[in-house]
């Protein structure tokens, strides 16, 4: 429900007044988009996480919610709600910041970066286990990794999937890998 309300409130990203408050902020008068002005000078830290809760279509919202349910419920059941929320938030923030820094895109939205973070976390914890921890089929991991690679080719936009924040997906997955490694070999999250 937390992601459904903002999606409808912002008219799936079309409402400019909400967009100016919730999305990553660009200095439109400057050739450089500024993280410094947004986060350090103006202290608008919420802009790092709010794009996670914004979606641009009902299909986008439905698929993302489905993935969070599939992955999140398994992580919650085995590792607890706190671990799920931590992975979700860290990978969401990292993916939004990564997309903004790498590509300059500031009108990004969706749970996909967090989803790839959850997936990366599960993958690392299951990597060398004799028994599957989260009971996710290998085909699911393979599909998501191939989807990520295909996204970077631009072919998905060609087939009508719209602009995809591929860097956000990659950074989200890498943050999930790191959190999985910390959970597996370091301290418990």
User: Catalytic residue numbers?
Assistant: 112, 169
54: closest CA among 18, 27, 90? 18
Q: Report how far residue 168's alpha carbon sits from residue 21's, in angstroms, rounded to the nearest whole number.
A: 20
The answer to whether 41 touches 47, Cβ cutoff 8 Å, is: no
The DSSP code sequence of 7-58 is HHHTTTTT-HHHHHHHSPP--TTSSS--HIIIIIIS--GGGGTGGGG--SSH
Residue that has been written with the tokens 């992601």 in this structure = 3
The answer to whether 104 touches 59, Cβ cutoff 8 Å, is: no
């Amino acid at each position: 429900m937390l992601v459904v309300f903002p999606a409808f409130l912002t008219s799936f990203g079309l409402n400019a007044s909400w967009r100016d408050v919730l999305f990553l902020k660009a200095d439109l008068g400057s050739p450089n988009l500024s993280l410094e002005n947004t986060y350090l000078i103006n202290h608008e830290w919420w802009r790092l996480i709010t794009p996670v809760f914004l979606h641009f279509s009902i299909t986008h919202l439905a698929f993302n919610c489905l993935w969070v349910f599939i992955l999140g419920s398994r992580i919650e059941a085995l590792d607890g709600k706190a671990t799920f929320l931590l992975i979700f938030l860290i990978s969401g923030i990292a993916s939004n910041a990564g997309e903004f820094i790498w590509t300059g895109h500031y009108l990004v939205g969706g749970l996909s970066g967090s989803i790839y973070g959850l997936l990366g976390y599960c993958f690392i914890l299951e990597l060398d286990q004799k028994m599957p921890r989260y009971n996710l089929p290998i085909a699911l991991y393979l599909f998501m990794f191939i989807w990520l690679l295909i996204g970077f080719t631009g072919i998905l936009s060609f087939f009508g999937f719209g602009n995809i924040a591929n860097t956000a997906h990659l950074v989200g997955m890498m943050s999930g890998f790191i959190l999985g490694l910390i959970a597996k070999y370091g301290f418990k999250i």
